[in-house]
Amino acid sequence: MKALVNLQVIPVGTEVSVSKYIVACEKVLEAAGLHYQLHGNGTNIEGEWDAVFDAVRRCHEVVHEMGAPRIHSMISVGTRTDKEQSLDDKVSSVRQQLM
Amino acid sequence: MKALVNLQVIPVGTEVSVSKYIVACEKVLEAAGLHYQLHGNGTNIEGEWDAVFDAVRRCHEVVHEMGAPRIHSMISVGTRTDKEQSLDDKVSSVRQQLM
Amino acid sequence: MKALVNLQVIPVGTEVSVSKYIVACEKVLEAAGLHYQLHGNGTNIEGEWDAVFDAVRRCHEVVHEMGAPRIHSMISVGTRTDKEQSLDDKVSSVRQQLM
Amino acid sequence: MKALVNLQVIPVGTEVSVSKYIVACEKVLEAAGLHYQLHGNGTNIEGEWDAVFDAVRRCHEVVHEMGAPRIHSMISVGTRTDKEQSLDDKVSSVRQQLM
């Protein structure tokens, strides 16, 4: 089952700048061989369900190992059985209708 | 790693009433032996990370099998390393300060 | 337009325990005269759209005034035009099918 | 108070393809004069709190007027008082550390 995910990792109880933790998560996604794209409110990820969620767990583990005592993540996940659809497909289908 | 989760499963492309799908998810959580609590905007779940997310995936599979062509879920997940904390603990620590 | 909302306020760049900030938000919701219910992963709120979102903004203002330099909130909001439905109705319609 | 928002609008009880509703929301954001960016799991928006949330309410109104009987939106909102930060700034601060 393919999953289209937005992951927003929010370390709590740390310094106010959390970019170093997000950097560490991006490296986890890269190491996992997932297709991902950082944006202003999280990271879009597409891949097989288990591969994606294993990487999300690894993000939590790594961010805790870096010293963040508490992490809240918001995960938006979409699956569908009627057709194959990528994140790019979703954006394209809206953009075409805006033109 | 223990996870405190809120799961909100939103079937798309179905009839307007989606309660039968939520019922199916509650049964998945029950079968998984997880501690969970339905509320007005989702279901709170606590358990080991892998057990929780395996159940979330199973929810998607079951809801698709029931005929929903598309599902969006919102998953809020918290982990912490500084102390053990249950969902009830979180509510209690706020309630005590409100009294 | 009536809104059924789950609000999860996550202060960032603070001490690891954030319950005092959540307490302050509950007081904002109380002062606003909204119907709300704290649970393990946020607070369910029901009310008119503008009243609810004015209170959410006030939560951010109050938590910043208390010293939190950064806040992330996750807001799940549902609206419907086919029928009136409360948060309790949503829970009941699932519970009845579980019995 | 400036807000950095991710908005994900999910119509329920409609046909399985919901892109026409997302198109309508993008037009609402455009008409509101907001800075916004569609991506694979929602739309990033930045602007003054009230302007952003007025537009989100207008999205719900428009999508209901188009015939969707039920809408769930997920709104991630960040505010901060320690410094001015745009969505592009957030992405840049991570990207610089990845190089």
Domain ranges in chain B are: 2-98
pLDDT for the residue C48: 97
Q: List residues bridging with B76 in a β-sheet.
A: A74, B6
From residue D94, alpha-carbon distances to A7, A42, C70, D24, D89 in Å are: 15, 11, 17, 32, 9
Chain C residues within an 8 Å CB radius of A18:
12
Chain D residues within an 8 Å CB radius of B68:
none
* Residue D7: closest C-alpha in chain A: A41
Are B20 and B67 in contact by the 8 Å Cβ rule? The answer is: no
Q: What is the percent of chain A where pLDDT is above 90?
A: 98
- Does residue B99 carry a pLDDT above 90? no
Q: State the Cα–Cα distance between residues D88 and A41, nearest whole angstrom.
A: 10
3-state secondary structure of D46: strand
Pick among B2, B6, B75, B90 to test the A interface (most A CBs inside 10 A): B75
Query: What's the one-letter identity of residue B72?
Result: H
DSSP B72-89: EEEEEEEEESSS---HHH
The C-alpha R_g of chain B, in whole angstroms, comes to 15
Write down which chains contact chain D via at least 3 CB pairs under 8 A: A, B, C
Q: List residues bridging with C80 in a β-sheet.
A: D70
- Looking up tokens 């759209």 gives C49
Pick among C72, C74, C76 to test the A interface (most A CBs inside 10 A): C72
Interface of D with B in 14-53 (CB under 8 A): 14-18
Mean of the per-residue pLDDT values of chain B: 96
pLDDT for the residue A55: 98
CA distance D86 to chain A (A): 8
CATH topology of domain B2-98: Alpha-Beta Plaits (3.30.70)
B40: closest CA among B56, B58, B25, B22?
Answer: B22
pLDDT for the residue B96: 92
Which residue among B64, B78, B82 sits closest to A79, beta carbon to beta carbon? Answer: B64
pLDDT for the residue B8: 98
- Segments of chain A with pLDDT less than 50: none
- Mean pLDDT score, B59-74: 98
pLDDT digits (tens, 9 = 90+) for D28-66: 999 999 999 999 999 999 999 999 999 999 999 999 999
User: What is the model's pTM?
Assistant: 0.97
Chain C residues within an 8 Å CB radius of B20:
97
**CB count, 10 Å around CB of B91?**
17
Which residue among B8, B41, B94 sits closest to C38, beta carbon to beta carbon? Answer: B94
3-state secondary structure of B68: coil
Question: Which token pair is B76?
Answer: 């809020």
**CB count, 10 Å around CB of A87?**
20
Q: List residues bridging with B2 in a β-sheet.
A: B48
Tell me the residue ranges of DSSP E strands in C21-68: 35-39, 42-48
* Residue B78: closest C-alpha in chain A: A72
CA distance A70 to chain C (A): 7
CA distance D66 to chain B (A): 15
Range with lowest mean pLDDT among B54-63, B68-77, C89-98, D62-71: C89-98
How many residues does this entry show for chain D? Answer: 99
pLDDT digits (tens, 9 = 90+) for C22-76: 999 999 999 999 999 999 999 999 999 999 999 999 999 999 999 999 999 999 9
Chain B residues within an 8 Å CB radius of C87:
39-41
Are D39 and D7 in contact by the 8 Å Cβ rule? The answer is: no
The pairing of strands C2-12 and B35-39 is unpaired
Q: State the Cα–Cα distance between residues A89 and D13, nearest whole angstrom.
A: 22
**CB count, 10 Å around CB of B31?**
10
Q: State the Cα–Cα distance between residues A63 and A69, nearest whole angstrom.
A: 9
D36: closest CA among D55, D17, D64, D14?
Answer: D55
From residue D18, alpha-carbon distances to A40, B77, D52, D77 in Å are: 23, 27, 22, 23
Q: State the Cα–Cα distance between residues D87 and D5, nearest whole angstrom.
A: 9
Computed from CA positions of residues A83, A88, A91, A92, in that sequence, does the dihedral angle turn out positive or negative?
A: negative
3-state secondary structure of A76: strand
Are B66 and B9 in contact by the 8 Å Cβ rule? The answer is: no
Q: State the Cα–Cα distance between residues A76 and A8, nearest whole angstrom.
A: 9
pLDDT for the residue B45: 98
Which residue among D61, D64, D76 sits closest to C74, beta carbon to beta carbon? Answer: D76
From residue D41, alpha-carbon distances to B73, D7, D52, D70 in Å are: 12, 9, 18, 19
CA distance C48 to chain D (A): 11
Q: State the Cα–Cα distance between residues D19 and A5, nearest whole angstrom.
A: 18
B16/D15 touch (CB, cutoff 8 Å), yes or no: no
